[in-house]
Amino acid sequence: MTLRRLLYLIPVLVFAGIGIGLALGLTRDPSILPSVLIGKSVPQFELPPVAGLDRPGLSSADLKGQAVLVNVFASWCVPCRAEQPLLLRLADSGVPIYGINYKDKPDQVDAWLGELGNPFKRIGADRSGRVAIDWGVYGVPETFVIDADGRIRHKFVGPLMPQDVDQTLLPMLAKLNG
Amino acid sequence: MKRWFVLLGLLAALLAPEVRAATSPDEVLADPVLEQRARALSKQLRCLVCQNQSIDASNADLADDLRRLVRARLVAGDSDQQIIDFLTARYGDFILLKPPVEPATWGLWFGPAALLLVGAGGIAIHLRRRRRAEPEALSAAEQARLEALLGSEAADRS
């Protein structure tokens, strides 16, 4: 009889299981999508420099030989402004950062970088946003970690935060360069 | 009277399905067959910015770009499947409003039906058992007590 009683617990346990699963799901940020490009080579692309800027353009060939960051940014993007000091600090500490300038006007990029500082070694101008689609970009800013073989190892969606840099980015770069 | 017309209009607006597409006139393809395929495809593709809208209905910049991309590839002669493969290679299955049926999504596709079946089965078994269970016979002591009660009642009535 007690065994039969225990059977009645099964639905309660199943319900609790589903409830816990869904509750955990609620704690995740639905706006952050995993990239399917992790572990794959960077897409083939060739972007011209931003007109009037003293930085060369960017193509797939530039992303081989060392671990680098590729940051997709725009002067009209407010969160980009927030992460810019962090990028500058990374660039100062010797991390090579390349930029893909997304749907922007050259004179506005120029003014924006003049105001905030320019952490980028190269900047490719993606005026149509077509190359960004090949990178699976769905909003700016996004930051990719590329290894020496030109493979995408990680993607940060949204502005980089200090804890992203300390806990994920720097250890990852150390391992890739190690 | 006028008030009723306004009310009717509001009701109609509420009840009408959202048929308005975000497609702007300059995107529309000259070939009606291709345009129809473009619309059908766009309705299956999720806008990654607004997430619960298709790119057909979304006014987001990226949705606009993706709609144009779909049309450009259709004009270039791609099949519907090639276009879907092209986009899932960049954005993953998430770009499909209807996720594909594969082991990882079995729970999603079949879970609710499975739970319903398990529940219905449980109830069916429970009901059948209850119907089949015969009442236990009274013990000798119970029988005697019953008779005593019935007897005293019969005595009371007479």
Contact B66 A135 (CB under 8 A): no
Q: Where are the domains of chain B?
A: 2-100, 104-157
- How confident is residue B17, by pLDDT bands cut at 50, 70 and 90? low
pLDDT, tens digit (0-9, with 9 covering 90-100), for A141-175: 999 999 999 999 999 999 999 999 999 999 999 99
Q: How far is CA B20 from the centre of its chain?
A: 22
Among the partner residues B62, B69, B88, nearest to A138 by beta-carbon distance: B62
Distances (CA, A) of A81 to A77, A84, A143, A158, B29: 7, 5, 14, 11, 39
Does the CB of A38 have a partner CB in chain B at under 8 Å? Answer: no
Phi, psi of A143 (to 5 degrees): -125, 125
CA distance to partner chain A, nearest, from residue B146 (Å): 28
- pLDDT tens sequence across A95-116: 999 999 999 999 999 999 999 9
* End-to-end C-alpha distance for chain B, whole angstroms: 79
* Rounded-to-integer distance, Cα A72 and Cα A69, Å: 10
**Average pLDDT, whole number, for chain B?**
87
pLDDT by residue (tens digit) across B61-74? 999 999 999 999 99
Helix, strand, coil percentages for chain B (3-state, nearest 5): 70, 5, 30
Contact B41, B29 (CB under 8 A): no
Q: Return the residue matching tokens 């399917």.
A: A36
Distance (Å) from the alpha carbon of A177 to chain B's nearest alpha carbon = 27
Q: What is the pTM of this model?
A: 0.79
The CATH number of domain B2-100, selected from 1.20.1070.10, 3.40.50.80, 2.40.50.140, 1.10.8.640? 1.10.8.640
pLDDT for A52-68, tens place per residue?
999 999 999 999 999 99
Please state which architecture CATH assigns to domain A38-177. 3-Layer(aba) Sandwich (3.40)
**Does B89 reach chain A within 8 Å, measured CB to CB?**
yes
* Pairwise CB contact (< 8 Å): A11 & B122: yes
Q: Which residue has the tokens 């006028």?
A: B2
Domain coordinates of chain A in residue numbers? 38-177
Q: What is the pLDDT of residues A70-98, one digit of tens each?
A: 999 999 999 999 999 999 999 999 999 99
For chain A, say whether B90 makes contact (Cβ under 8 Å).
yes
Query: Token pair of A142, please?
Result: 């996004």
Mutation site, B84, B90, B125, interface A, largest A CB count within 10 A: B90
Q: Whats the size of chain B, residue-wise?
A: 158
User: Is residue B60 within 8 Å of residue B50, measured between CB atoms?
Assistant: yes
**Pairwise CB contact (< 8 Å): A138 & B88:** no
Of B69, B91, B122, the CB nearest to A138: B91
